[in-house]
Amino acid sequence: MSLTLRFAPSPTGYLHVGGARTAIFNWLIARQSGGKFLLRIEDTDKLRSTEESTQKILSSLKWLGLDWDGEVFFQSANQHRHLEVANLLLENGKAYRCFCTKEELEEKRRRAEELKLNQRYDGTCRNLTQQQIREKTNRGLPFAVRFKVPKGEVFFNDLIHGPMHVNNDTLDDFIIVRSDKTPVYQLAVVVDDHDMGVNLVLRGDDHISNTNKQILLYEALNWDVPGFGHLPLILGTDKQRLSKRHGAASVEEFRSMGIFSEALFNYLCLLGWSPGDDRELFTRDELIKRFSIDRINKTPAVFDPQKLLWMNAKYLAAKTADQLIPYLKPYLREKGYSAEELNDPRFLFLIELQKIRSKTLRELADNLQLFFSDPVEYEEKGVKKYFRKENSLTLLNELHEFFNEQSNGFFEDISAIETAIREFAEKRDLSAAKVIHPLRLALTGKTASPGIFELVYVVGKKKVLTRIQNAINYLKKLN
């Protein structure tokens, strides 16, 4: 049987990583089985749904590489069909009109609470006679439509959690159409999933109680019940449901941090699914081949931002400088750097040097700053260690003179730079480190950077001289 799966987000905010993982798992199964992956925007809650959110969700899904089959479905466009099915249920006696007012229901709820009774709907309108119903409708009284929960129990074999059942006695006669004639989620989902041909529903654990009700609707309509699997939640490191409080929680935020889409995809797959061995890095194609529902964990997964950064760093390091340029552009543009400079071979070389020292694209862009701009400040601990020595000023002056005497060609040859700097130190009876550290601080403002000889090449004669001169001026003011 060919599988049809779907992802059905409500457009009330960004795409949360939990939702993204649900989408990914559905997509993987669809692509693996040659089935379909459909997208339905559940926009029936007019107060909370926005077009902006829909666009953000679509953009995050595209960025993650999750393509859907056919057009996007919008749940609100199907209201007439939801109501048609509600009428069918009414006609078949599987649902009934409930004329209880909000105030009456509230009062019943309050009384039940006082008496510590269960707060389910008491069934007042369940057994109205046809005449009573006619009399009320003739008076134009508004009514909601309630589903008549039958006796018995709901059973389903959850593909992740195993057999599940619930006694129908514990379920309310739930509303399927509100008194303002808007269909309720439970009904809309069942009708849409049925009409779209969805035969496998994979969604979050928080929907288990909905599944019970939805199965009752499928049965009442004599429709085939799809397979169901419920994914355990994603928690933060404090074991609470992952949210903004834990830092980034949406796909959009990770994207803006400079996480690769492949890395987030890969990380989210391992969050709640295990490949069965120690391997951690997988391409999308490999995941399509290896993914299987029976290796989805039953227990909640903890989102570990450090692990994601680690994984992202692996993806970063695996790309060449040329491949990284298009990814880096937005971050460099944000910093105001022009695109022309990006073709400079020295810049590409710096990317190679810095990519292994960076975990995200944003961090890499920060680490490329030294190519574009002279340091405006110096690390305090570096100043203490390398700029406040007795010979610091002399050393910088001599370095300036030394570099000034070199030809432009010298700055193209990293091994010549190394030999010359070592000789420079030896001549003055200094260890190479005694020269390298202050020079690094002058060129970058930092105490840590890629190798100094490579750095002199990257920065080039003109900027080397400017930066040493700036450090000299800074030192003069210090003393």
Backbone angles phi, psi at 302, to 5 degrees: -100, 125
Least distance to ligand GLU, CB of residue 191, Å: 12
* Token duo for residue 22: 């649900």
Q: Which is nearer to ligand GLU, 125 or 189 (CB)?
A: 189
The DSSP secondary structure of 191-220, one letter per residue, reads: HHHHHTT--EEEEEGGGHHHHHHHHHHHHH
Least distance to ligand GLU, CB of residue 204, Å: 7
- With beta carbons less than 8 A apart as the criterion, state whether 97 and 143 touch: yes
21 sits near ligand GLU (criterion: CB under 6 A): no
The set of residues, in sequence order, having a beta carbon less than 8 Å from that of 250 and lying 6+ positions away, is 13, 14, 15, 16, 17, 60
9 sits near ligand GLU (criterion: CB under 6 A): yes
How many residues sit close enough to ligand GLU to count as binding (CB under 6 A)? 7
The DSSP secondary structure of 111-125, one letter per residue, reads: HHHHTT---S---TT
Task: Give whole-number Cα distances, 55 to 58, 60, 237, 374, in Å.
Answer: 5, 9, 30, 40
Rounded Cα–Cα distance for residues 58 and 416 (Å): 53
Question: Is 244 assigned a catalytic role?
Answer: yes
For tokens 């939990």, what's the residue? 18
144 sits near ligand GLU (criterion: CB under 6 A): no
Q: Which is nearer to ligand GLU, 48 or 165 (CB)?
A: 48
Q: Which of 62, 181, 244, 381 is catalytic?
A: 244
- Per-residue binding letters, 91-130, with ligand GLU (x by CB under 6 A): ----------------------------------------
Least distance to ligand GLU, CB of residue 39, Å: 11
42 sits near ligand GLU (criterion: CB under 6 A): yes
Choosing from 10, 186, 212, 250, the residue that interacts with ligand GLU (CB under 6 A) is 10
Least distance to ligand GLU, CB of residue 215, Å: 13
Rounded Cα–Cα distance for residues 72 and 208 (Å): 25
18 sits near ligand GLU (criterion: CB under 6 A): no
Q: Which is nearer to ligand GLU, 25 or 303 (CB)?
A: 25
Choosing from 3, 5, 8, 249, the residue that interacts with ligand GLU (CB under 6 A) is 8
The set of residues, in sequence order, having a beta carbon less than 8 Å from that of 113 and lying 6+ positions away, is 119
- With beta carbons less than 8 A apart as the criterion, state whether 433 and 421 touch: no
Q: Which is nearer to ligand GLU, 9 or 35 (CB)?
A: 9
- Element spanning 311, H or E: helix 305-317
Which one of the spans 2-10, 257-265, 302-310, 461-469 is the region binding ligand GLU (CB under 6 A)? 2-10
Rounded Cα–Cα distance for residues 470 and 373 (Å): 12
Q: Where are the alpha helices (DSSP H) in 115-260?
A: 130-138, 185-195, 208-221, 251-257
Q: Which is nearer to ligand GLU, 42 or 173 (CB)?
A: 42
**For the CA atoms of 195, 198, 202, 207, what is the dihedral angle to 10 degrees?**
20
189 sits near ligand GLU (criterion: CB under 6 A): yes
Comparing CA positions, the residue from 199, 209, 248 lying closest to residue 60 is: 248
Q: Which is nearer to ligand GLU, 188 or 269 (CB)?
A: 188
Backbone angles phi, psi at 253, to 5 degrees: -65, -40
* Residues of this chain, 249-278, that bind ligand GLU according to CB under 6 A: none
Q: Which is nearer to ligand GLU, 58 or 112 (CB)?
A: 58
* Pairing of β 144-147 and β 153-158: unpaired
Which one of the spans 7-15, 58-66, 161-169, 394-402 is the region binding ligand GLU (CB under 6 A)? 7-15
* Residues of this chain, 357-376, that bind ligand GLU according to CB under 6 A: none
Least distance to ligand GLU, CB of residue 207, Å: 6
* Token duo for residue 87: 């009428």
- Per-residue binding letters, 192-221, with ligand GLU (x by CB under 6 A): -----------x---x--------------
241 sits near ligand GLU (criterion: CB under 6 A): no
The DSSP bridge partners found for residue 73 are 40
Which one of the spans 3-11, 57-65, 297-305, 339-347 is the region binding ligand GLU (CB under 6 A)? 3-11
Which one of the spans 4-12, 50-58, 336-344, 376-384 is the region binding ligand GLU (CB under 6 A)? 4-12
Q: Which is nearer to ligand GLU, 202 or 257 (CB)?
A: 202
Least distance to ligand GLU, CB of residue 214, Å: 8
* Pairing of β 4-7 and β 175-177: unpaired
Q: Rounded to an integer, what is the distance from CA 350 to the centroid of its chain?
A: 30
> Which residues of the shown chain bind ligand GLU in the complex (CB under 6 A)?
8-10, 42, 189, 203, 207
Instruction: Report the catalytic residues.
Output: 244
